[in-house]
Amino acid sequence: MLTDLSLHRPLRAAGAALFLGACALSASAQTGPAAAPAKAPAPVVAPKPAVAAPAAAASESVRVLVLPAGETVLASPVPGRISKLHVGLGMAFRQGEVLVSMDCDEPQARLAMAKADQAAATDQYEAKLRMQGLEQASDVEVALAASSVAKTKAQVELYKFQISQCSIRAPWDGRTAKLHVRSFMTVNAGQPLLDLVRSGLLLMKLNVPSAWIPSLKMGQKFDVTIDETGQTYAAQVHRINGRVDPVSQTIELEATMTKAYPDLLPGMSGVAKFTGMR
């Protein structure tokens, strides 16, 4: 029996195609999807070193405090009662003017007694001298009489000094800053009576950086703007401290105004402006 070969050729071609497809599927399952190519690692960039900021130049402005040309506290030199207070708060006075008068009745009485003793001692001494000329008094008696005169004279001077202390006078021209007492008060020796400030060119205290020391000199001029008045005034360095504060690294200066300014008072403050101190 003869077989028709033309019928079998298409079947063989279809089978071959199916076989090739199955092989392709099997190979795909075994290998899996293609892996993505690995990325190259990012280059490591070293951080830039921090650049130190340039040191700031020293400030040329510093705070200042205005002080009087001089100040003091008058105290009572002797115990007693105040008979009269000649000044009031803020009142101006001249040098040598009586500010406080004390009751001096007791010292004056003692002075009168001392003067009487001095007169008696003087008469006795003169009598001894006459008797010595008549050879009726020895040299020792004359010397003792002279010593008694010297003693009474010293007592007179002591009571005169105590009486002078009853009138308390101004040591210089100035103004009163505080009253501690009133008239007719009884005070003890050494008790404060008045706070005084001296008239004249005002002083200023200020602390500047110690780095300024090479540029500082006596008489150096600078400007000061006072907070209370808003005005600017001329001043100059008067004294430079001989020691630097190790904590704040500053040095203290004392300055004076170049002339008197009636609108300025002690206790005001402001800002001093220096030039060329960087």
Q: What mean pLDDT is reported for the chain?
A: 83
Q: What is the pTM of this model?
A: 0.64
For the cut 90, the answer to whether the pLDDT of residue 85 exceeds it is: yes
For the cut 50, the answer to whether the pLDDT of residue 6 exceeds it is: no
Q: What is the pLDDT of residues 94-113, one digit of tens each?
A: 999 999 999 999 889 999 99
Q: What is the pLDDT of residues 21-49, one digit of tens each?
A: 444 444 444 444 444 444 545 555 445 54
Predicted pLDDT of residue 278: 60
For the cut 60, the answer to whether the pLDDT of residue 10 exceeds it is: no
SS3 assignment for the chain: CCCCHHHHHHHHHHHHHHHHHHHHHHHHHHHCCCCCCCCCCCCCCCCCCCCCCCCCCCCCEEEEEEECCCEEEEECCCCEEEEEECCCCCCEECCCCEEEEECCHHHHHHHHHHHHHHHHHHHHHHHHHHHHHCCCCCHHHHHHHHHHHHHHHHHHHHHHHHHHCCEEECCCCEEEEEECCCCCCEECCCCEEEEEEECCCCEEEEEEEHHHHHHCCCCCEEEEEECCCCCEEEEEEEEEEEEEECCCCEEEEEEEECCCCCCCCCCCEEEEECCCCC
Q: What is the pLDDT of residues 197-222, one digit of tens each?
A: 999 889 999 999 999 999 899 999 99
Predicted pLDDT of residue 275: 85
